Chains A and B, each alone.
Chain A
Amino acid sequence: MADVLTFTDRGIYCPAGDFYIDPWRPVPRALITHAHSDHARWGMDSYLSTPGTAAVMRHRLGDIAVETIAYGAQQQIGDAVVSFHPAGHVPGSAQIRIAVKGQVWVVSGDYKTVDDGLSEPFDPVPCHAFISECTFGLPIFNWTPQDILRDQINRWWADCATSGKTAILGAYALGKAQRLLRLVDPAIGPILTHGAVENTNEVLRAQGIALPATIRVDATVTGKTHPGALVLATPSALGTTWAKRFGPSSTAFASGWMALRGVRRRRAADRGFIVSDHADWAGLNAAIKATGAEKIFVTHGYTSAFQRWLADQGYDAHVVSTDYQGEDFDSSEDAA
């Protein structure tokens, strides 16, 4: 029997439906799991995604031909039937299910299994073959439970506020930043946002996602005008002249990589919060088990170790090389 999906130098391809999933080179038809830039690239003739992903893609990629599909709705493309299912990664993110002649394959995109209170929660999809990311596919990655995380961040912010410091938190602009916004306690002080974060906030608010009130940082906003503030910024903005306007400050990063002491120390922030929109070790293993799939393809992350682990567990496991970065170690230096 022919494979439902093949792996090409343009991306994951479905011969039965003649479409690509998250391709990294221009193709006629692209199905997009989510709007992060390593998955949703510019230059496709047509796009198919969830409405949430489409809204952010339009904001990021401009005038593109995008068709939307609701979670769970089935659409016939050629000889394939496709449907999108929540991946729990960021708002609008999806796993894509492809059925061809009774064979069901699922592409996970990026996902996490815990409910972050913002994204549509991950929904396991039974399948014969599962293509899974494994950004954090080693047993050293075990995320802090969300309620403990909330206490850690709020306590840090409150301590900063009482000691006259601005709390500057670096987090990825789509997903992570809004997740954190819903976690923090607005009673502690004003919440200021970097332009890149606020732009995404606007797109998400327009879709009806409730976020606490935020103030966009412009030339008039400083540490003096908004004492006791929390600043949500992209990681690359920390330590720049932009950040100097806030005066005495404490800096923190929010990333899965903060689980590693070496990375925390190298980033030279005052605090590191362990929070990721990718599945941790337990999450990856649970998600894979829940699919009931026998054949597993692993992409981006600790692929060779994770593949060997899965093979040890009795799966027919393979490594697929892709251009996705996930929450990559190198890019963790910029965009964790």
Chain B
Amino acid sequence: MKAFAALFAQLDESTKTSVKVAAMADYFRNAPDQDKLWTAALFTGRRPKRVITASKLRLWAAEVAGLPDWLFEESYSIVGDLAETIALVLPAPGQISDESLTYWIMRLRELGLQDEAARKAGIIAAWDSLPHAERFLFTKLLTGGFRIGISAKLMTRALALATGQPEPELTHKLMGNWTPDSVTWHSLIQAEDPTADQSRPYPFYLAYGLEGLDSLGPPADWSAERKWDGIRGQFILRGGSHYLWSRGEDLMTDRFPELAQLCDALPDGTVIDGEVLAFADEAPLPFAALQKRIGRKTVPRKLLAEAPVILMAYDLLEQDGHDIRSLPFAERRGRLADIVARVSTRAPLRLSPQVTFTTWAELAAERAKSRDLGAEGLMLKRHDSPYLAGRKKGDWWKWKVDPLTIDAVMIYAQAGSGRRANLFTDYTFAVRDGDALVPFTKAYSGLTDAEFRQITAWVRKNTLQKFGPVRQVPPLHVFEIAFEGINESPRHKSGVALRFPRMLRWRQDKPVAEANTLADLQEMLRLYG
């Protein structure tokens, strides 16, 4: 655990990518295989299950530290992270253990199977044998909340350095259904055949936002299609079984049972990149319809009827069991069109239509129609582009519509957590309704650190009331809030819910009297909801 804690500290403290990659590569060269496997699992979000509730942990930690509960809570509100608070308040460890990361993960799994008294004794004994950094990590693992700000891309780069294998190959190997229990380091990383696991998806090719049309060259080199507002997914049909993967590597097969129909409609050995869309009468339903199905492991029949989904096909990655990602996009798209054409339109599969254009001005006019069509904008793909792994510039670009915006008044502030603990970064915003202010959204991103610091200092001096961690502040500051969509929501006081709200800028030039009104918001709902 010591080596893992040292790695974590290096990754956590440094802001330099080169330092992080070097630290990880070093770890992957030297750690025991089983620890490497667990590290790769943790860094790709394959966390052990939560062993104990947070409320039990707080009680036990306060008890061991000899603190009243209120003081523990006060401390937690300053630190902003439960595991860190626990690691900080506990007395120094007695007998220090030097066990491996794998040992501690196995230990916490064992604890999960025991009754509460044994669990409590086991956790307290573990705390007493771990120094601060390791105690923090162990507690993070206990809460099921282990997260680290390392992208899979960065970890793969480090693995490539440590193993000498090319990055794209490693990216592919690290995808899919594996857990540290189902594979070994050897079978996952060192073995030659990455297709051993038939559910394994290809890395998604992701596009950056368009920087400018000027650099694209002639329009004739490009293909355009709608950027649909659903869930990006990869549909895999191999060996008679099908799998649906999200971009975040979640297996979503069971959440969208209607796609099982495609098993009979498509040839075996097919992998399609597309968008899962709620869809009826040959048109996408608003994202809100799909949202009802996200997070549900099983789907009631009523919901299946209300929000049926289809796969809107973008690209073909595998045909007859062959990886065709290196073929030009135009070729892949042609083959995809042939496959889709052979499937009945009663099946939940459509080919994402191409948007025809000869000039960039024509394309811009098409982009302007996006919102009416239920799309987020356009995707531009070079005809000769291969299907790359990860977010890459050059061949693919997304050209989203400009967000909707509204000027709103900040009325509550709350401290963030992690890097933003002790900074007030999470705000609640309101629109005007006569003399009243009606809260309608929260937002917590979009400002610079310097702006957050400035507002934090202001919030500290201008708190009207505290409600637990939330501070009520005078309605003085106006912010421009950008968002991607707006829906009716009976659960919210304002009657609306926004998609992806964030702060576009702090309007220090605007007085509250010039902020938007509830009527403005309702008009936006009427236009775009």
Contact = CB atoms under 8 A, between A and B. Distances in A.
Nearest to A262: B421
Most chain B C-beta atoms within 10 Å of own C-beta, residue among A142, A263, A266, A268: A266
Interface in A20-56: none
A305 B84 CA distance: 19
Contacts of B16: 270
Interface in B1-17: 12-16
Contacts of A266: 419-420, 423, 449
B422 A264 contact: no
Nearest to B149: A265
B418 A265 contact: yes
Interface stretch (B65-73, B295-303, B311-319, B482-490): B65-73
Nearest to B74: A305
A268 B72 CA distance: 27
A139 B89 contact: yes
Interface size class of A (residues with CB under 8 A): 20 to 34
Interface string B414-458: 000111111100000000000000000000000001000100110
Interface string A228-261: 0000000000000000000000000000000111
B476 interface: no
Given A264-B13, A270-B19, 13 more contacts: A138-B74, A139-B89, A140-B88, A140-B89, A142-B92, A261-B84, A262-B419, A262-B422, A265-B419, A266-B449, A270-B13, A305-B74, A330-B453
A142 B13 contact: no
B67 A139 contact: yes
Interface in B452-509: 453, 456-457, 460
Interface in A116-155: 138-142
Most chain A C-beta atoms within 10 Å of own C-beta, residue among B71, B421, B456: B71
Interface string B59-83: 0000001011011101100111100
Contacts, number: 78
Give the 5 A-B residue pairs with the shortest CB-CB distance, closest first. Answer: A262-B421, A140-B88, A265-B419, A305-B74, A139-B89
A305 B89 CA distance: 15
A140 B79 contact: yes
A302 B84 contact: no
Interface of A: 138-142, 259-266, 268-272, 302, 305, 308-309, 312, 329-330, 333
Contacts of B423: 262, 266
A302 B68 contact: no
Given A270-B14, A329-B422, A262 B81 contact: yes
Nearest to B450: A333
14 contacts: A139-B89, A261-B421, A262-B80, A262-B417, A262-B420, A264-B13, A265-B419, A270-B19, A302-B78, A305-B74, A308-B70, A309-B68, A309-B71, A312-B68
Given A260-B421, A262-B418, A308-B70, A139 B13 contact: no
Contacts of B68: 309, 312
